[in-house]
Structure 1
Amino acid sequence: MPPRLTHLALHVPDLDACMAFYGRYCAMQVIHQRAAKGSRIVWMAEAGKERDLVFVIMPGGQPRHLAEDDYSHLGFALPSRAAVDAIAAQARADGCLVWAPRDEPFPVGYYCGVRDPAGHYVEFSYGQPLGPGAESLATP
């Protein structure tokens, strides 16, 4: 069996703020947490995806200071352009919108970017050939 991606591990400066962010913006939930070496480690996943891909979030990281044109990011698919717009509006109100909604040629689609409390960029997209609804997209 070839290797399979199962988790991303992130050190963050404020564990509770990141947990709240990923719960609110990404509908992720805590599936496991434990104390380790005087600290708390949290696993978060999307409902129904607990055995596919988890975020392991640990305290102690330094804030990331990415430039607006740095496209390093975590990507989440949404079911519609309206859903992208809704996330962007919420992020604008929360002061964490990095990239306003925009259209790019296939396979990029319609997306916006949001900064999490640790400074990581998170993309929310519609129309990419990845994630929910991808099977209905025609490839050029």
Structure 2
Amino acid sequence: MRDIGLTHIALPVADIHRSIEFYATYAQMQVVHKRLDGASGIPVVWLSDGIRPFVIVLIQKEVVQPVLTPLAHLGVGCPSREALDRLCDQAKQQGILLDGPQDSGYPVGYWAFLRDPDGHTLELSYGQEVGLTVEQAIQQD
């Protein structure tokens, strides 16, 4: 994997461990790097799903203003509608389901919005065909 193109997004978080647990549960991401920033001593963690060279960088801060709120969001594709429904049921029980699940048809697909521990929005989806769309567009060039 090469570091070319979009490689990461950085999010401020109030409790890095709580955010790691959220993204492990709802985005199937795991810690691939962690450190204390040398200059500030602030905890920094990189999370990845291991599928592509892209990470979410979590940076612990005392005060967090959520920057990814509907309609701004991170999007994660789920392997099936049933998997998305299971995660939404869990999110609803935890009081973090914001919207959905709902089917908006092609190309949006079946989706839901969840609120992460700091108020950022995570979209779960099935059937958006982002990978297929990108592949087809590259083949046409």
Q: TM-score scaled by structure 1?
A: 0.82
Q: Of residues 29, 42, 45 in structure 1, which corresponds to 2:48? A: 45
The 8 Å contact of residues 68 and 74 in structure 2, kept in 1 or not, is answered as: no
Cα distance in structure 1, aligned partners of 2:78 and 2:50: 15
- The alpha carbon displacement at 1:12 in A equals 1.1
Cα distance in structure 1, aligned partners of 2:84 and 2:17: 25
Point out the structure with the larger helix share: 2
User: Where in structure 2 are the equivalents of 1:1-140 lying within 5 Å?
Assistant: 4-36=5-37, 37-49=40-52, 52-60=53-61, 61-64=63-66, 70-131=70-131, 134=132
Cα distance in structure 2, aligned partners of 1:103 and 1:94: 22
Which structure 1 residue ranges, 4+ long, deviate > 2 Å from structure 2?
63-67
Point out the structure with the larger strand share: 1
Which consecutive residues of structure 2, in runs of 5 or more, have no partner in the other structure? 134-141
Query: In structure 2, do the counterparts of structure 1 residues 111 and 48 end up closer, same or farther at CA, with 3 Å as the change threshold?
Result: closer
- The alpha carbon displacement at 1:48 in A equals 4.0
Amino acid at match of 1:46: D
Report the equivalent of 2:138.
none
Cα distance in structure 1, aligned partners of 2:78 and 2:25: 14
Identity of matched residues, %: 39
- Residue correspondences, number: 127
Cα distance in structure 1, aligned partners of 2:121 and 2:13: 13
Q: TM-score scaled by structure 2?
A: 0.82
The 8 Å contact of residues 102 and 112 in structure 1, kept in 2 or not, is answered as: yes
Cα distance in structure 2, aligned partners of 1:44 and 1:103: 28
Cα distance in structure 2, aligned partners of 1:66 and 1:35: 24
Superposition RMSD on alpha carbons, in Å? 1.9
The 8 Å contact of residues 108 and 127 in structure 2, kept in 1 or not, is answered as: yes
Cα distance in structure 1, aligned partners of 2:24 and 2:79: 18
The 8 Å contact of residues 13 and 63 in structure 1, kept in 2 or not, is answered as: no
